[in-house]
Amino acid sequence: MSLLVIGTVAYDTIETAYTRRENVLGGSAMYFSIAAAKYTKPALVAVVGEDFRPEHTKLLKDNGVDTQGLEMQKGRTFRWSGRYEVDWNTRVTLETQLNVLETFDPKIPQEWRAAKYVFLANAAPSVQLRALEQIDRPSFVMADTMNLWIETSREDLKKLLRKVDAIVLNDEEARILTGERNLIRAAGMVLGMGPKYVLLKKGEHGAFIMGSDVHFSLPAYPVEQVIDPTGAGDTFAGGFMGHVAASDRCDPPTLRRAMLWGTVTASFCVQGFGPEALVARTQAELASRYDDLMTIVSP
């Protein structure tokens, strides 16, 4: 079933306690779409600059992503750099160069305006709102955001929250948005801002979904070695929405299972730099880890 994502495609510079890599393919919509393509055929709407390498468009296509909405504009591709502390849970943004994002006005290709499932990946809330206006009557819309937008575009973000079915936040974002330290109370306050569901990610401590008809919590899948957690959140969302779109339903049992698929998909993402570990994974490997996770959480 049709799944559309609007967000960023980037070149990232990533520093971990062990190494540093420049110009790694990144961006919220890039990670999301590669993850979702494990379950369905997603379409990507994003902007890149003239420096975007053809092999990266090919990588997206070869991994099952519809790239007709990937626009190339004069200028440089969005660049982000960040550093992880040794415990992986703390990430500091070192630099954000908006470049072509500064003037990004998303255009949803005509055939994708009827998309039933939509993910508004991390981008300026005004861009997310403009994208959403172009979609006819979606069944389920989920949005992501980050501390930068919570701090600089709170009003647009609040407007967005009234128009989406679900919002995905990490613990720090939930606390900044609500001013509440307790995550259950923070999730309740976010629900009061409009969405039916809030998905709250807690890094290596897992994630939960809360809404009036569902409250479900999972640990992260335990991996022995983390290489690079960049994109884990977007990959989680990609696995989640990929399952929802492939099932063509968004009832509570589907949302609970989608949490498992999101968790499993994200666990592969952190095992390599950029999208490399995710790209290499087959559906059989994902399914096998899903079964493992079921065993881990079952009594």
Q: Residues of 124-141 as b/e, b for ≥16 C-beta within 10 angstroms?
A: bbbbbbbbbeebeebbbb
Per CB under 6 A, does 173 bind ligand AMP? Answer: no
Per CB under 6 A, does 148 bind ligand AMP? Answer: yes
Amino acid found at 173: E
C-beta of 79 vs 116, nearer to ligand AMP = 79
Contacting ligand AMP (CB under 6 A), which of 5, 12, 227, 240? 12
Per CB under 6 A, does 238 bind ligand AMP? Answer: no
**Nearest distance, CB of residue 26 and ligand AMP, angstroms:** 3
Per CB under 6 A, does 157 bind ligand AMP? Answer: no
C-beta of 78 vs 197, nearer to ligand AMP = 78
Listed ranges 5-13, 61-69, 135-143, 214-222: which one lies at the site for ligand AMP (CB under 6 A): 5-13
Which two structure tokens, joined as six digits, stand for 89? 């849970």
Length of the chain: 299
Contacting ligand AMP (CB under 6 A), which of 3, 4, 5, 8? 8
C-beta of 2 vs 123, nearer to ligand AMP = 123
DSSP 130-187: HHHHT-S--SEEEEE--HHHHHH-HHHHHHHHTT-SEEEEEHHHHHHHH--SSHHHHH
**Nearest distance, CB of residue 249 and ligand AMP, angstroms:** 26
Q: Which residues contact 57 (CB under 8 A, 6 or more apart)?
A: 67, 70
Listed ranges 20-28, 132-140, 153-161, 177-185: which one lies at the site for ligand AMP (CB under 6 A): 20-28
d(CA 125, CA 153) in angstroms, rounded, equals 7
Per CB under 6 A, does 287 bind ligand AMP? Answer: no
Contacting ligand AMP (CB under 6 A), which of 2, 28, 178, 265? 28
Q: Which residues contact 176 (CB under 8 A, 6 or more apart)?
A: 147, 150, 151
C-beta of 10 vs 142, nearer to ligand AMP = 10
Q: Which residue is nearest to ligand AMP (CB)?
A: 26
Per CB under 6 A, does 119 bind ligand AMP? Answer: no
Per CB under 6 A, does 233 bind ligand AMP? Answer: yes
In the chain, the N- to C-terminal Cα span, in Å, equals 34
Question: 5 in helix, strand or coil?
Answer: strand
Tell me the backbone φ, ψ of residue 298, rounded to 5 degrees.
-85, 145
Per CB under 6 A, does 89 bind ligand AMP? Answer: no
CB atoms within 10 A of CB 103: 11
The residues binding ligand AMP (CB under 6 A) are 8, 10, 12, 26-28, 80, 96, 122-123, 146, 148, 230-234
